[in-house]
């Protein structure tokens, strides 16, 4: 917190100089903070105005006769510098913090889970990393029984969401072979800016040279389905003015006040989804964070749940959708007995190693905290010409190494053999439904295959040139859960990451620490006089490194997924390939919770693609065409009559 306080103090000197590229839009034009001006009923209600919720609402309201209400817990950001300037910290009021139960794999320490509490969700507060996973990540989704959800099926929607701007010639010359201007894998007409910081610390050359020195390939194009090796990543930023691109300024602000059929109410918590006798979702209950006033809004078509992997299962469980035993124990009437709601929870445990540099004489990222006058000078440079260190994401960057298992250890076959021998029944609660075990077995088999692949990473190592180096285990075997233990909708759910419950995850973490040490021992990194300060070079044995990991790791890389998984119901799935909730009609989930397996990387670009894909499914357009032809977009047809709600998502 000291670092944050220092940089905020030193960088607010020029705070009044910045104007957002979207400041000409009226950010509150269609926002309501109370229910007075809302309709009694909407065609579609979207629960959650984060990344996926805004995409879906935007695409739905392309049809001017379709009405949509988005209900969001947070508020529209005030376009503060921290939500626009990459190098500034995001205001803490836009973060929501939940704390897990004690994790036995972390020596009974708890772990935080940070999510966005703002219109635009995590894309407003994240580290702006905007690279896709590997082909194998998404093909595994398809192999779990989801036709069309593999790499080839999702690629058009990755492209649809983005406008890619190639790197500058100066940047390409600075990092030859590490960065590509190839347009083929990218979109050039989407709402989200995808580009590169136009400045980088020269020391990053040592990062790439060090990995190359120890045999890790340099990958100039990680977005073509092979996100492995050391590479310079795209970030979610508008190239023209080097400002953050997030879901709010990509999918909401450009249409705010323009589409009168798009309503957004902020500062409200959804407490329950209500169903008719035939299990159709018909209305939503929600409560004001400011006044505690409760309200109910009806829908005549569908409810779309997009509250995120941490909150969507809570809302479903409160509404009677989830494990029957859990619901009955809390006196909640079961609408659909779905044991998978809240199970299969995945995030990526992360270790933060620390280093110092004896020969590091030019400016470093740590100067942002230790040299207030220099930091203020860099902010002024940013305001004047949109260049310099402030174009690099705060406490982040673009230089990463995504390492397959065989790049981490030569003994990778035995690691996979050991993983295959683990008794799955020992890794999940004994009370878990048989379908949960079936789904985990299916995922474990796919994970073993991916662990053997040279094209699928298991560890991410990131370095922006400073003292801290995160090591994230991005393809974990461990599975956690998110459950309610009260009917009070304002109480947080019980979060259990179950970190390192699968011994393979700890084995990968240990091997990854050793790989980092190999990298810092390379000639290019030795030239910087690199010294390990935490855990320290004196921690050498496997037992000592494991103790360090359990004492220091955190459970989350802030990429929670898979709590409402898109899988077959007999595998513990919650939604089908159209993202419809099993056992109900008129209800979908559209957020990272539907990922059946975590993407080995950062999740925002995948969330955009999932939301764009479900918004563009051919049967949605078919139903819309049918409605236009036969009913004049009038109305009350429902999912089941055409297999989907009429007038559904536009292409």
DSSP string, 213-271: HTTPPB-S-GGGS---EEEE--BSEETTTTEE--HIIIIIGGGTTT-TTEEEE-SEEEE
Q: E strand or H helix at 498, and its extent?
A: none
* Annotation says 559 is catalytic: yes
Looking at residue 398, what DSSP letter applies? Answer: S
Beta bridge partner(s), residue 481: 496
Helix and strand totals (H; E) in the chain? 20, 24
Write phi, then psi, for 373 (nearest 5 degrees).
-70, -40
Q: How far apart are CA 477 and CA 456, in angstroms?
A: 14
Question: Can you say which residues are annotated as belonging to the binding site for FAD?
Answer: 51-52, 118, 270
Question: Can you say which residues are annotated as belonging to the binding site?
Answer: 51-52, 118, 270
* Annotation says 602 is catalytic: yes
Are β-strands 262-265 and 31-32 bridged in parallel, bridged antiparallel, or unpaired? parallel
**Coil, strand or helix: which one is 301?**
strand
For residues 495, 310, 314, 321, the Cα torsion angle rounded to the nearest 10 degrees is -110
The sign one gets for the Cα dihedral 49, 52, 55, 58 is negative
- Token pair for 79: 């376009």
Which residue in 608, 611, 597 sits closest to 348, CA to CA? 597
- Token pair for 596: 């059946």
Looking at residue 463, what DSSP letter applies? Answer: -
Exactly one of 246, 263, 433, 559 is catalytic; name it.
559
- Which CA distances in Å does 553 have to 471, 550, 612? 9, 6, 34
What do you get for the CA distance between the two ends of the chain, in Å? 45
Please answer whether residues 610 and 617 qualify as being in contact, where contact means their C-beta atoms are separated by less than 8 angstroms.
no
Any residues with CB less than 8 A from the CB of 170 and at least 6 apart, and which?
198
> Using N-to-C axis directions, what is the helix angle for 503-520 and 542-552, rounded to 10°?
100
DSSP string, 576-624: -TT-BBTT-BSEEE-SGGG-SS--SS-SHHHHHHHHHHHHS-HHHHHHH
Cis amide bond preceding 535, omega within 30: yes
Q: How far apart are CA 408 and CA 451, in angstroms?
A: 11
Cα 151 to chain centroid, rounded: 18
Please answer whether residues 119 and 264 qualify as being in contact, where contact means their C-beta atoms are separated by less than 8 angstroms.
yes
Q: E strand or H helix at 304, and its extent?
A: strand 294-305
- Token pair for 352: 């933060």
Which residue in 483, 459, 466, 444 sits closest to 553, CA to CA? 459
Any residues with CB less than 8 A from the CB of 547 and at least 6 apart, and which?
none
Burial of 147 (0-12, 13-18, 19+ CB in 10 A): exposed
Exactly one of 268, 413, 602, 638 is catalytic; name it.
602
**Active-site residue set:** 559, 602
């Amino acid at each position: 917190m000291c670092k944050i306080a220092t940089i905020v103090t030193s960088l607010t000197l020029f705070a009044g100089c910045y104007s957002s590229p979207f400041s000409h839009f009226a950010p509150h034009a269609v926002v309501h903070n109370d229910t007075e001006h809302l309709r009694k009923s909407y065609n579609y209600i979207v629960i959650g105005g984060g990344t996926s919720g805004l995409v879906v609402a935007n695409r739905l309201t392309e049809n001017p006769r379709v009405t949509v209400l988005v209900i969001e817990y947070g508020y529209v950001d005030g376009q503060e510098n921290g939500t626009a300037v990459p190098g500034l910290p995001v205001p803490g009021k836009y973060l929501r913090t939940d704390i897990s139960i004690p994790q036995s794999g972390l020596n009974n320490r708890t772990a935080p889970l940070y999510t966005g509490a703002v219109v635009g969700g995590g894309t407003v507060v994240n580290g702006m990393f905007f690279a896709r996973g590997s082909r194998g990540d998404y093909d595994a989704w398809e192999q779990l029984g989801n036709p069309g959800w593999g790499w080839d099926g999702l690629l058009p929607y990755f492209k649809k969401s983005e406008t890619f701007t190639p790197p500058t010639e100066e940047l390409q010359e600075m990092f030859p072979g590490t960065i590509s201007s190839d347009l083929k894998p990218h979109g050039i007409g989407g709402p989200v800016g995808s580009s590169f910081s136009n400045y980088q610390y020269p020391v990053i050359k040592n990062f790439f040279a060090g990995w190359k020195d120890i045999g890790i390939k340099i990958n100039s194009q990680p977005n073509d389905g092979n996100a492995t090796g050391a590479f310079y990543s795209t970030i979610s930023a508008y190239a023209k003015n080097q400002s953050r691109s997030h879901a709010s300024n990509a999918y909401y602000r450009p249409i705010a006040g323009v589409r009168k059929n798009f309503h957004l109410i902020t500062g409200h918590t959804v407490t329950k989804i209500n169903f008719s006798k035939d299990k159709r979702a018909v209305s939503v209950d929600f409560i004001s964070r400011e006044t505690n006033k409760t309200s109910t809004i009806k829908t005549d078509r569908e409810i779309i749940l997009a509250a995120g992997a941490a909150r969507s299962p809570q809302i479903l469980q409160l509404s009677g959708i989830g494990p029957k035993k859990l619901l009955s124990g809390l006196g909640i009437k079961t609408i659909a007995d779905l044991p998978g709601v809240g199970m299969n929870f995945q995030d990526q445990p992360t270790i933060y190693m620390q280093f110092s540099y004896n020969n590091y004489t030019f400016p470093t990222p740590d100067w942002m905290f230790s040299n207030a006058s220099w930091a203020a000078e860099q902010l002024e440079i940013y305001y004047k010409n949109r260049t310099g260190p402030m174009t690099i994401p705060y406490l982040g960057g673009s230089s990463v190494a995504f390492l397959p298992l065989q790049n981490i250890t030569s003994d990778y076959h035995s690691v996979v053999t050991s993983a295959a021998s683990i008794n799955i029944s020992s890794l999940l609660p004994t009370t878990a439904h048989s379908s949960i075990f079936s789904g985990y077995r299916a995922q474990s088999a796919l994970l073993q295959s991916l662990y053997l692949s040279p094209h699928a990473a298991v560890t991410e190592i990131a370095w922006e040139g400073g003292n801290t180096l995160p090591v994230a285990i991005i393809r974990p075997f461990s599975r956690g859960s998110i459950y309610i233990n009260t009917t009070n909708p304002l109480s947080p759910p019980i979060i259990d990451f179950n970190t390192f419950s699968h011994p393979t995850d700890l084995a990968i973490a240990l091997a990854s620490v050793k790989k980092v040490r190999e990298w810092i021992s390379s000639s290019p990194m030795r030239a910087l006089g690199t010294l390990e300060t935490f855990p320290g070079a004196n921690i050498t044995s496997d037992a000592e490194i494991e103790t360090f990991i359990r004492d220091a790791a955190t459970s989350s890389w802030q990429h929670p997924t898979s709590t409402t998984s898109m899988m077959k119901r007999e595998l513990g799935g919650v939604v089908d390939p159209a993202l419809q909730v099993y056992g109900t009609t008129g209800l979908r989930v559209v957020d990272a919770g539907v990922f059946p397996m975590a993407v080995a990387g950062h999740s925002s670009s995948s969330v955009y693609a999932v939301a764009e894909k479900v918004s563009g499914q051919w049967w949605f357009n078919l139903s819309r065409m049918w409605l236009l032809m036969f009913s004049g977009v009038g109305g009350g047809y429902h999912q089941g009559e055409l297999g989907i709600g009429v007038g559904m998502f536009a292409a």
